[in-house]
């Protein structure tokens, strides 16, 4: 059987933790910060854990990554 390919866009955007959760950047921080509240900007720093339903899809894009 041939090897499965990893989606290049997924490996650049997501990381999988040791327990199998998917870490992603916060959404809504690319542009238009002037109209966002300071509280929203502050809460969107760093990364967040993806929902279980969406992480199942992302994991299918990365077949050889660690799965919890």
C-beta of residue 8 within 8 angstroms of C-beta of residue 62: no
C-beta of residue 26 within 8 angstroms of C-beta of residue 45: yes
In a domain? residue 53: yes
Domain that holds residue 15: 8-61
Is the pLDDT reported for residue 2 higher than 90?
yes
Count of structural domains, the chain: 1
In a domain? residue 1: no
In a domain? residue 54: yes
C-beta of residue 10 within 8 angstroms of C-beta of residue 58: yes
CATH number reported for the structural domain that contains residue 39 in this entry: 4.10.410.60
6-62 residue pLDDT tens: 999 999 999 999 999 999 999 999 999 999 999 999 999 999 999 999 999 999 999
15-24 residue pLDDT tens: 999 999 999 9
CB atoms within 10 A of CB 4: 10
């Amino acid at each position: 059987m041939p090897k499965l390919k990893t989606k290049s866009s997924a490996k650049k955007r997501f990381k999988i933790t040791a327990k199998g959760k998917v870490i992603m950047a916060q959404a809504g921080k690319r542009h238009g910060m002037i109209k966002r509240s300071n509280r929203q900007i502050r809460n969107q720093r760093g990364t967040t854990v993806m929902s279980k339903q969406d992480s199942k899809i992302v994991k299918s894009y990365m077949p050889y990554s660690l799965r919890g």
